Amino acid sequence: MSQASVPFIAELRRCPTCNRWGGARRVAADGRTVELDPDKARGQCNEGPWHGSMRGPRNACGQWVQWIEIRSAESANPTEPKASARLQAHSSTSSSGA
């Protein structure tokens, strides 16, 4: 990224946060924020529904796949129980009374 430019922050579920997006980006220190160079904020879609086309920071589609470099909330807060574990515990206690 150029020194004079302030990086763009990509929104989750937009092309630059998708694993199929081929543009220049980096993950910030928090592990979840994706920064883009404002001078090079477009990248090619690879193997997605827009395959081969240049996609920018405001583009999105229905086949978004989270970029593997972005830390999930579970890995950022390892002491927090996963939602699926909480759901299983709740459903097993509510079905045992039937």
Check pLDDT > 50 for residue 85.
no
Confidence class for position 7, pLDDT limits 50, 70, 90: confident
Give 23-48 as a DSSP string.
Answer: S-EEE-TTSS-EEE-GGG--EEB-SS
The span from the first CA to the last CA of the chain, in angstroms, equals 60
pLDDT digits (tens, 9 = 90+) for 51-81: 999 999 999 999 999 999 998 755 655 554 4
As given in the structure block, the two tokens for residue 43 are 């990248």
Domain boundaries, the chain: 8-71
pTM for the full model? Answer: 0.68
